Amino acid sequence: VLNANFETTYPSISYFSQLIGGVTISNALPAPLNAFADIGVSQISMVYDATESIISSIGVTAQTSQPWLLLSNLTLNNLEIGLTVSYPGDSALRDTDVQITGYFNIGDKNPATNQYPNTIAASAFYPPFTMGARLIEGTIQLGDLLTMFLPIVQIDLHSEIDAFVMDIDPNTKEYTLSCNILADWTFFTLQSPNLSFTMTGLGFEISSMQGTATGLINGVFHIGPSTPDTGVDLSIYAAYTGEGWT
């Protein structure tokens, strides 16, 4: 295995087309990445098969400073593109795989720290096309998540997401999604006696594999006075196995 790292300013990715078997790199990238002008190669690796006396694969890692606008208020930053070409010297066996990773934030920066409240890592692979997203830092306000898809809605839902994982394979229609929400939703309060019913947590996991959907929903409720260390915490679970709820 031979690895080479380039220092900034990175050489243009277009210079490496012949090295990886004549693959037109821009054609291997989705729009609008294929139109970015500043994609530069930061690393290249080569695997040599001594038994067959051939280069079995070449990998190129590229960077771009340009953001990828996915929605009007959702932008992927710090993009990294990984391109792997298997058997670049054999047109009959040659195969190209692409991986794209980037990061985005949900919500506004904290004026005091000038930092976003969270970081979500997103990745896409093809062919075949698959994608995923994971919360890797901070928490997501549930109201901010709603605003991302419905910009006219500005609401504080008194809850935040502290765990989020999503993977989707559009070709097989398989997906997994898990989320955990810390909440403070009071459904009712009585003054005498001092009693309230509050949801403090909500989690769910859903998936579809080989055409079978399954799911799990759990909720945590506090019943009793609002004073600390009083009352009862109650956990409720419901699971769907593809045939029904239990």
pLDDT digits (tens, 9 = 90+) for 30-69: 778 878 878 888 999 999 888 888 889 999 999 988 888 8
Average pLDDT over residues 171-190: 87
- Identify the CA nearest to 64 among candidates 42, 31, 43: 42
Instruction: Give 127's DSSP letter.
Output: T
- d(C-alpha 6, C-alpha 41), whole Å: 7
A 10 A CB-CB count for 154 gives 10
Q: Please, which pLDDT band fits residue 157 given cuts at 50, 70 and 90?
A: confident
Q: What proportion of the chain, given as a percentage, has pLDDT over 70?
A: 99
The backbone region for 205, taken as left when phi is positive above 0, alpha when psi lies in -120 to 50, beta otherwise, is: beta
User: How confident is the model at residue 228, as a pLDDT?
Assistant: 64
Q: Count CB neighbours of 35 within 10 A.
A: 10
Angle at 63 between CA 79 and CA 135, to 5 degrees: 25
Least confident of 123-127, 194-198, 228-232: 228-232
Q: Count H helices, E strands: the chain?
A: 2, 14
Give the residue ranges of DSSP H helices in the chain. Answer: 25-28, 142-149
For residue 119, give the nearest of 109, 131, 128, 111 by alpha carbon. Answer: 109
Average pLDDT, the chain: 86
pLDDT at 71 over 80: no
